[in-house]
C-alpha cells in the first residue's frame, strides 16, 4: 500500500509518501519512507517570537502544492499510485488545519482516493516506531515479550501529556499540562533572554556551554551576606505532586523575576548560559520524574518519548540513563524498552501521519464531507 501523509497542524507543511510492506503477522506491517518533505516557516514567525495563525495558513497555502510535487518526485511515484490519503484533522491551529484538510479532500475527490482522518498526537507517538523493532499490530500480544502497556510522553510547543497505551489505538491521558506546554516554556524563556525563536534549540545550545555549577543568584534565596556568591536554582513545578499533571507557567515567571532582579548581569553570556542550563534541567527533571513514576505504577514495558521537544539531546540522554538506573534499582523486576524518534521525525512531518493513517485504515472513507478539522481534538 502507498500512503500519502499530509500534515499542516501548526507551522510546518509536511507531505510524505510511505510504503507499507506486509509482515508474516496477519495484521502487521513494516514501513519504508519513500519521501518526507517538510517546509519550515521559522523565518516567517521568528520576528513575532511565536507562530501567527493567519500567517501560518498563508504559508501553508503557498507551500503545500510544491511540497506535494517534490514528495511524489522523490518517491518516484505519481498521484495515481497513491492508495490512501492520511491527513491531520487535529489538534492544532484551525487556519492551518483547514489548509491541509481541504487540500487532502480536493485531491481525494479528484482522483477517487479514500481518505483517513489522523490525530496529530497519535502521529507523534508512532514516529518512534520507524527506528525500532516494535512492529505495529492491532492485536494485543499476551506473550512474555509483549511491549505493552506503554507510557508515552508527548512533549512539544503545544502539548505536554502522559499517555497510557494498552495497545495501539487505545490511549488514555493520565496527565497533562495545566497551563504552558514544555516547548512553550522554552520559547517564552528564550524570548525573555532575547535568544530568538524557536526557543528550544537556542536554550539547549547555550545550556551546553555550562560545565560547572552556576555562580549566579536566583532572587528567592535568603538574603546574601557580603561577598557571598549564591547559585541559580529554579523551581521544579509540581514535581512533588502525586498526580501526573504538569505546570510550566511558574517556571517561566521565576525566570522573569530572576532577570528583573539581576539586570546588571543580563548582558553576561555566562549568566545567560547558566539560566538556560537551569531552565532546561528544571524541565527535564519534571518530565522524567513524572514519566518514570507512571511507568512504575502502570508496570510499563515501554516508554515512548515523542514530540518536538524530544529532539532535545540532553533530555534524550538523561531519559535513557534514568531508565537504566531505575531497572537496576528494581533488580530486574522491571524491564523497560525506551523508544524515541530520530530527530528529524520528532518535528511535525507527513511520514508520521501516513503511518497513523495505516493504523487507522479501517476508518478510511470516500464520504469526503465527513472529514472535518478539529482544533481541540483529544487522543483516546
Note whether residue 167 is domain-resident. Answer: no
Q: Are residues 92 and 65 in the same domain?
A: yes
The pLDDT value recorded for residue 136 is: 55
- What cell numbers appear for 43 in the block? 523565518
Residue 359 has pLDDT above 60, yes or no: yes
Q: Is the pLDDT of residue 72 over 80?
A: yes
* Structural domain includes residue 158: no
Q: What is the pLDDT of residue 192?
A: 93
pLDDT at position 70 is 98
- Note whether 185 and 326 are same-domain residues: yes
| Whether pLDDT at 320 is above 50 | yes
Q: Are 354 and 4 contacting, i.e. CB atoms less than 8 angstroms apart?
A: yes
pLDDT the model gives residue 220: 39
Same domain, yes or no: 40 and 11: yes
Classify strands 2-7 and 84-90 as parallel, antiparallel or unpaired.
Answer: parallel
Question: Is residue 11 included in any domain, yes or no?
Answer: yes
Say yes or no: 329 and 205 in one domain: yes
Task: Assess whether 99 and 247 both reside in one domain.
Answer: no
Q: How far apart (Å, rounded) are the C-alpha atoms in residues 39 and 32?
A: 21
> Is 243 a residue whose pLDDT tops 90?
yes
Q: What percent of the chain has pLDDT over 70?
A: 88
Q: What pLDDT score was predicted for residue 268?
A: 83
Domain extent for 227:
175-300+302-335
Give the pLDDT score at 130. Answer: 73
Q: What is the pTM of this model?
A: 0.88
Residues 184, 214 within the same domain: yes
Mapped onto helix, strand or coil, the DSSP state of residue 329 is helix
Residues 57 and 121 in one domain: yes
User: What ranges make up the beta strands (E) of 49-169?
Assistant: 84-90, 115-119, 150-155, 160-167
Q: Is residue 195 part of a domain?
A: yes
pLDDT band at 269 (very low <50, low <70, confident <90, very high): confident
Q: Residue range 183-206: average pLDDT?
A: 93
Beta strands in 150-246, from DSSP E residues, in sequence order: 150-155, 160-167, 170-176
Specify if 264 maps to a domain.
yes
- pLDDT for the residue numbered 177: 95
CATH number at residue 259: 3.30.420.40
36 and 59 fall within a common domain = yes
In a domain, 89, yes or no: yes
> Is the model's pLDDT at 134 over the cut of 60?
no
Provide the pLDDT for residue 332.
Answer: 61
Does residue 274 have a pLDDT over 50?
yes
What confidence score (pLDDT) does residue 325 get? 86
Do residues 68 and 208 both lie within one domain?
no
Q: Does 170 map to a domain?
A: no
* Nearest in space to 122 (alpha carbons), one of 245, 288, 5: 5
Whether residue 111 is found in the same domain as residue 209: no
Instruction: Identify the band that residue 226 occupies on the pLDDT scale cut at 50, 70 and 90.
Output: very low
120 & 183 share domain = no
pLDDT of residue 82: 97
Q: DSSP letter string over 125-158?
A: HHGGGGGSS--B-SSPP-STT---SEEEEEESSS
CA distance 47 to 32: 37
Q: What pLDDT shows up at residue 135? A: 54
Task: Name the nearest CA neighbour of 156 among 187, 197, 194.
Answer: 187
Structurally, the chain folds into a number of domains equal to 2
CB-CB neighbours of 264 under 10 Å: 8
> What is the mean predicted confidence (pLDDT) over 240-261?
93
User: 144 pLDDT exceeds 60?
Assistant: no
Is residue 68 located within the same domain as residue 41?
A: yes
What confidence score (pLDDT) does residue 24 get? 65
- Whether 153 is in a domain gets the answer no
User: How much is the pLDDT for 346?
Assistant: 93
Amino acid at each position: 500500500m502507498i500512503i500519502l501523509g499530509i500534515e499542516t497542524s501548526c507551522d510546518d507543511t509536511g507531505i510524505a509518501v510511505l510504503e507499507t510492506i506486509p509482515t508474516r503477522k496477519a495484521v502487521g506491517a513494516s514501513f519504508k519512507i519513500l519521501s518526507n518533505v517538510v517546509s519550515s516557516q521559522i523565518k516567517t514567525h521568528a520576528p513575532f517570537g511565536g507562530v501567527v495563525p493567519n500567517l501560518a495558513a498563508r504559508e501553508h497555502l503557498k507551500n503545500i502544492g510544491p511540497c506535494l510535487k517534490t514528495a511524489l518526485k522523490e518517491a518516484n511515484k505519481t498521484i495515481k499510485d497513491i492508495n490512501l490519503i492520511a491527513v491531520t484533522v487535529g489538534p492544532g491551529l484551525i487556519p492551518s488545519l483547514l489548509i491541509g484538510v481541504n487540500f487532502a479532500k480536493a485531491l481525494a475527490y479528484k482522483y477517487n482516493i479514500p481518505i483517513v482522518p489522523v490525530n496529530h498526537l497519535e502521529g507523534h507517538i508512532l514516529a518512534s516506531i520507524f527506528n525500532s523493532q516494535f512492529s505495529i499490530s492491532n492485536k494485543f500480544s499476551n506473550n512474555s515479550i509483549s511491549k505493552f502497556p506503554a507510557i508515552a510522553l508527548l512533549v512539544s510547543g503545544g502539548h505536554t501529556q502522559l499517555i497510557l497505551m494498552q495497545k495501539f489505538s487505545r490511549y488514555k491521558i493520565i496527565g497533562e499540562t495545566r497551563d504552558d506546554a514544555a516547548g512553550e516554556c522554552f520559547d517564552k524563556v528564550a524570548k525573555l533572554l532575547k535568544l530568538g525563536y524557536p526557543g528550544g534549540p537556542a536554550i539547549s545550545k547555550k545550556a551546553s556551554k555550562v560545565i560547572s555549577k552556576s555562580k549566579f543568584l536566583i532572587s528567592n534565596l535568603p538574603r546574601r551576606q557580603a561577598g557571598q556568591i549564591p547559585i541559580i536554582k529554579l523551581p521544579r513545578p509540581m514535581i512533588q505532586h502525586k498526580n501526573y499533571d504538569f505546570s510550566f507557567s511558574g517556571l517561566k515567571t521565576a525566570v522573569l523575576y530572576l532577570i528583573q532582579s539581576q539586570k546588571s548581569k543580563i548582558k553576561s553570556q555566562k549568566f545567560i548560559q547558566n539560566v538556560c542550563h537551569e531552565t532546561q534541567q528544571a524541565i527535564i527533571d519534571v518530565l522524567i520524574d513524572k514519566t518514570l513514576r507512571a511507568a512504575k505504577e502502570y508496570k510499563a514495558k515501554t516508554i515512548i518519548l515523542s514530540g518536538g521537544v524530544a529532539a532535545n539531546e540532553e533530555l534524550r540522554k538523561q531519559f535513557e540513563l534514568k531508565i537504566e538506573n531505575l531497572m537496576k534499582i528494581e533488580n530486574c523486576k522491571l524491564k523497560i524498552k525506551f523508544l524515541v524518534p530520530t530527530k528529524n521525525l520528532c518535528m511535525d512531518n507527513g511520514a508520521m501521519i501516513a503511518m497513523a493513517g495505516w493504523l487507522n485504515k479501517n476508518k478510511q472513507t470516500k464520504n469526503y464531507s465527513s472529514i472535518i478539522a478539529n482544533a481541540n481534538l483529544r487522543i483516546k
